[in-house]
Structure 1
Amino acid sequence: MIRCMEIPWYFALLTFICGGILLSLSVQVYRRKHISGHSLVWGILVLYATICLTFGLDNIGMILPVPQLLSPYLFWINTYCYFALPVAWFFFCLHYIGKPEFLTARNFTLLMIIPVLMSIFRVISSRGFFHEVLTGLYFSSLSWEIDILGYGYIYGLSIAGSLLLLRRYPDVSIKFRHQIIFLITSSYILIVSGLITDINIFPSFDPMCLDAALSGFILAFGIIHYDFLQYSPVFREKFFNIATSGLIALSRDRHIIDMNPVAEKLLQISLTDAFSWHPSEIPSLRPELRKILEHPDILYEQPFSLISDEIRWYSVSSQLIQKNIGEKGGYLVVFTDITSSMNLEKQIQETKSQLIREKEKLAQVQKYRDFFLSHRDAIIIISENRIIEANPVAYGMFPEFGEAIIGMDPVSLSAGHQRNPDDVPEKLRYYCTQASSGRVIDFSWVFQSYHKEIPAEVRLSRLVYGDQILVEMSIRGMSDIYRKLDEFSEINRNLMNILYEEIHLWSLASDVISGDSDPKSDTMKEIQEILIKATRNIERIVPYQNFVKPDSSPKADEEPVLRS
């Protein structure tokens, strides 16, 4: 702090020059204050420069005339900077180790109010008339207690910040250990020199603010040589508030310099353990993640999956950042969890496939429905030995039951007597059971309606509708066919009788002609009578000529649709 003793003019000039150099360095850092962390470094360098400049101005009266009235103000500014420097240093250390949750305006205001109050009290209690008044009013003990509190505040925050950096020291690589050594050295020069002076270990020792200049120069050298701005967290001010994606900041040489909590969970490693290490130097890192972090310049178009308790899908994107990671820039790698999107896409595909299947199923059902309603044969659908559906032909074949046929046992449609004595009504139920297992069964059966027997040919086949197993019974009634067959048999017998009669008459005519050689006899009269009978006999065929007329375009019976 500013001393009241006389110092050589060249020391005052040297301190003033150092303050100017530190101020120029702070201006260079200020130009990059938009980069995370540079604002704190800029503030520390400004405080160092202000300490040196105020001390030099207050003691430069040996060279240039300076109004004595400026001295209290310079003293107050110098004292305030001494108290404010540990606050900025402490916040810098919090920022360096990646504790942004404590860097709030409320904490900063609270810590900066205390230096203002202390510096005001020090100025009032140490200068001119106020010093005499306070001493006379027995404020000397209070002033001593305030000094003790101020020293504890200054040295306590500086030491606390240094301890935070030392906790990082074992977990970082050699390059970052050198950075921490430079940072702690620049801080402890000021702490040690202040303790030596304030405790009065060496009464003749007075650093004359050169300790502040040396501490500032070491910090500035570290910024230039080690690029202190490549530290954790470099992106938190702009990017790391994103809580839904894993963000990892890499230097140009692929060293991990920051990651957010989501990325820590993804990599299954803390920032403390991964900070400053190359991905290849972390044994616990998964191979797929190591490959991505070692080559952040490769564009990954396909998502990748990680399997732990469940399968999680991630998309990877990386961006080269030129202005937010020190002077050389670096990479920002973003891992976005797209598991919900992948699951949703999978569900959409499954739903789409299911809709296509349902559409095809409905088309098949409609196709069968059209076949069912328009078929010439009677068709009834059976489920668990009960009729659940019948087409119009079936209703016409069994008019006795009408709509009541739905829900009936198909066995109740059978006639009591079958053509085959072994065919009993219960056999029809057995056939239905066999058909439900996948067999196609064709057989003859006699049904009954209004006590009228209905002979028919039956085909049983299985139908699958959803999760139901049904049996289709196709019934082709044979009553009309049998009636027509009887008609044809009767016609055939009549025609055969005509034919036999015709043969008999012609045989008689042949016998008459061969037995009588005199054409003038009564033989001709007998022949004429035979011919008249033959002509009349042939005329009996006329009523049957429509039955024997051949069909020029015969049609085959329609085949029923077969079920698979």
Structure 2
Amino acid sequence: MLLESIISITSLSVGIFLCVILIYLLHQYKNEKGSTFFLMLIISILVWAAAFMFEMIVSSENLMMLFAKIQYIGVSFVPVAWFSFCSIYAGKFDNIVRGRLFYLLTIIPILTIILVFTNESHGLIWSKIDFSNIGVFKMLTPIHGTWFWIHTTYSYLLIATGSLLIIWKSLSISSTHIKRSILLISAVVLPWVANMVYLLKMTGFDYTVLTSVASISLLFLGVYGYKLVNVIPIARNIVIEGLDDAVVVLDENYRVVDMNPSAERLLEVSTDKAIGLGASQVFDRCPEIIRLYKSKKSEKRSICIKEKNGVNKYYAVKASPLYDKSKRVLGKLIVIRDITEIKQTENELKEKIEELERYKKVTVGRELKMIELKKQIEEFQRKLSGGDDVPVF
């Protein structure tokens, strides 16, 4: 039991430390879409974990109650933050979380926090409060009241909806994004599975916050390792895997969000490696494209790229802005079409036309000379015929 207690406190301490690091990292991406709700999620978990740790280590029952109540500040907002982030990530219900309707999502969490801190007056959160020794710790083991179950149902509904949005999005995106989706789902679902086990009385110890440590670690990996926040999918449904044209999607900061296999072959880089990189790095072989996608309006241009074997390849490039429902620019869609055969045909036709022009000049010149010669012959004949009238001496 002592070893389990030490592991619990150590895990929570590590989790809190990771939360602080995450908050620092996310602050650097404060202007990214979805980062506000992602930050809200981390702060909520931080408050939850810190309050739970202090509840474990204090000996006073009054302080235990205080920290148990503080936990609900974090617990209540985790589902809202999760659902909001998932909505923006998947591009569904994002009009709700971006506008005033978002505040409707916070009504139950705010009421829950108020009821938690006034529980002594009504018992809607904890109908009966008791303390039990679990290992070396004295822990709060209450009987939950009516509003607790309302809050729990609402929280599970938001968590489940957010997870389904991520799963739905994963069905139409590349393997790179599926890994991120699984990472996100695991990160937030793990604590709630542990919480369900606790609520069903399958264990006397609430492992919810301890599993949050694993959750925090996954989130840390997502942000620091996979650059999760700054690669939120923008237009995957536009990118058709089997399209012959190379298609690259950029975010508003000109970072690669996605690309199809044709783009991988053309740019000689895999999607896994390209995502999150600046477009100037990916298009380093094509400086003309860099100038093109930085234009604020839709632009198109023909470019020539010299292959490693020395052969010139020609491409038609079109860069178009991507807009959301409110006409705000989300990024750029770059479509690159191989027009080498068309260009070669054009060059062949041009050569044929030039050859015909030269032939025409030669032919016309010869015809003019024949006409001039004919005129001279006619003039000579006229003079000869006119000579018959000249008197002979």
* Structure-2-length-normalised TM-score: 0.55
Greater C-alpha Rg: 1
Give secondary structure in 1 for the equivalent of 2:101: helix
1:231 is matched by which residue type in structure 2?
I
1:152 is matched by which residue type in structure 2?
T
Alignment counterpart, residue 31 of structure 1, candidates 28, 32, 42:
28
Q: Verify the 8 A CA contact 2:292 2:299 in the aligned structure 1.
A: no
| Equivalence for 1:217 | 217
| Equivalence for 1:55 | 52
- 2:319 and 2:259 mapped to 1: Cα distance? 21
| Equivalence for 1:196 | 197
Q: Verify the 8 A CA contact 2:180 2:226 in the aligned structure 1.
A: yes
CA distance 1:208–1:182, shift in 2 (3 Å): closer
Matched, 1:162 2:144: no
Alignment counterpart, residue 107 of structure 1, candidates 101, 105, 130:
101
CA distance 1:181–1:158, shift in 2 (3 Å): same
- 1:1-35 per-residue CA deviation (whole Å, 9 max, x = no partner) reads xxxxxx83552353134213212221221132122
| Equivalence for 2:382 | none
Q: Verify the 8 A CA contact 2:90 2:166 in the aligned structure 1.
A: yes
- 1:98 and 1:131 mapped to 2: Cα distance? 40
| Equivalence for 1:187 | 188
| Equivalence for 1:278 | 260
1:343-358 matched pairs, under 5 angstroms: none
- 1:93 and 1:84 mapped to 2: Cα distance? 14
CA distance 1:61–1:135, shift in 2 (3 Å): closer
| Equivalence for 2:11 | 14
Which segment is superposed worse, 294-303 or 220-229?
294-303
- 2:18 and 2:109 mapped to 1: Cα distance? 25
CA distance 1:9–1:68, shift in 2 (3 Å): farther
Count of aligned residue pairs for this structure pair? 257
- 1:156-196 per-residue CA deviation (whole Å, 9 max, x = no partner) reads 10000000111111210110111111111112202211111
Alignment counterpart, residue 112 of structure 2, candidates 103, 114, 118:
118
- 1:34-65 per-residue CA deviation (whole Å, 9 max, x = no partner) reads 22222222221111111111111222226xxx
Higher relative contact order (CA 8 A, sep 6+): 2
1:247-262 matched pairs, under 5 angstroms: 255-256=248-249
The structure carrying a bigger helix percent of its residues is 2
| Equivalence for 2:227 | 227
Aligned CA RMSD, in angstroms, stands at: 4.1
1:472-511 matched pairs, under 5 angstroms: none
CA distance 1:195–1:257, shift in 2 (3 Å): farther
* Structure-1-length-normalised TM-score: 0.40
Report the Cα offset of residue 215 of structure 1: 1.0
Q: Verify the 8 A CA contact 2:11 2:213 in the aligned structure 1.
A: no
Report the Cα offset of residue 77 of structure 1: 2.3
Report the Cα offset of residue 318 of structure 1: 8.0
Matched, 1:76 2:45: no
Give secondary structure in 1 for the equivalent of 2:145: helix
| Equivalence for 1:97 | 90
- 2:197 and 2:82 mapped to 1: Cα distance? 21
Report the Cα offset of residue 216 of structure 1: 1.6
| Equivalence for 2:154 | 153
- 2:250 and 2:116 mapped to 1: Cα distance? 42
Report the Cα offset of residue 80 of structure 1: 2.5
Give secondary structure in 2 for the equivalent of 1:106: coil
- 2:108 and 2:127 mapped to 1: Cα distance? 23
